[in-house]
Amino acid sequence: MTNILLRSWNWCRRFRHRCGYGVHSPSDFFLVTSVVYECWPFYAYKPLHHLRRVVAFLPHYREKVDRFLFRLVNHLQPSLLIEVGTGSGISTRYMSEACTSMQVYTLADKREDAVERILSSKENITYLTEGTIDTLERLKKEGIRPDLVHIGNTPYYREAVEALLPLADTGTCFIIGTPYADASKKSWWKELVADERTGVTFDLYDVGLVFFDKRRAKEHRIINFL
């Protein structure tokens, strides 16, 4: 009940930030109206919906958010994703289904049999559970350079972002999961938005998006996606 009331309150606070109102950049307006708010069903939604039940007991986003992640990857068409904090693995599957040529490295501190079952059928997904930050540093030393980063279900969000920020370039996007999970993460999210190393940012409440195109003026966009 508390979560419903909190979402309702935040929906009211974000009422004027819906449907691209006030967004004047053509590319940002397209992202908001044709990716965030796209309502057409995609081919993968139905089978992925049924797959959710297999890992429902593990940390996961709302289905609405996972479908957005599918559309975002479909829009960006990245070649390599690093996900820090696999959680249930269902978000991993949504994103991988949106771009089957994308190589995915998903990092967790603990191997889950249910997660391995839903990820092992996809050859482009590598599920790594040797320790999140150590594995991340190993991938960096091996020259792995992501153009999409998902900071998912992990307590090491600060360390992961600091480790990956030097690899970001004009075409990179960071997805920050649950930026309002607690007071500490909320404060850190605000710092990341203001950080001079980041560019245009989007706040969808359940997730935040960070882009790094320094040719553009630094802006922060709040989107009502509750």
Mean pLDDT, all residues of the chain: 92
Whether residue 83 has pLDDT greater than 80: yes
Contact, 220 vs 199, CB < 8 A? Answer: no
Amino acid at 189: W
Residue 26's pLDDT is 86
Closest C-alpha to 72, from 190, 205, 180, 210? 210
Contact, 199 vs 216, CB < 8 A? Answer: yes
Question: Strand ranges (DSSP E) for 30-189?
Answer: 80-84, 103-107, 125-128, 148-151, 173-177
Structure tokens at 215: 């040719």
Whole-angstrom CA distances from 47 to 41, 43, 58, 67, 118 are 12, 8, 19, 12, 12
Residue 14's pLDDT is 58
pLDDT average, residue stretch 139-144: 96
pLDDT average, residue stretch 84-93: 98
Q: How confident is the model at residue 82 (pLDDT cuts 50, 70, 90)?
A: very high
Q: Give the integer Cα–Cα distance in Å for 124 and 99.
A: 10
Residue 67's pLDDT is 97
Sequence-separated (6 or more) residues with CB below 8 Å from residue 46:
none
SS3 content of the chain, % helix, strand, coil (to 5): 45, 15, 40
Residue 107's pLDDT is 98
Q: How confident is the model at residue 117 (pLDDT cuts 50, 70, 90)?
A: very high
Q: How confident is the model at residue 131 (pLDDT cuts 50, 70, 90)?
A: confident
Q: Give the integer Cα–Cα distance in Å for 79 and 102.
A: 5
Closest C-alpha to 166, from 202, 197, 210? 197
pLDDT average, residue stretch 84-94: 98
Q: What is the dihedral of CA 24, 29, 30, 31, to 10 degrees?
A: 140
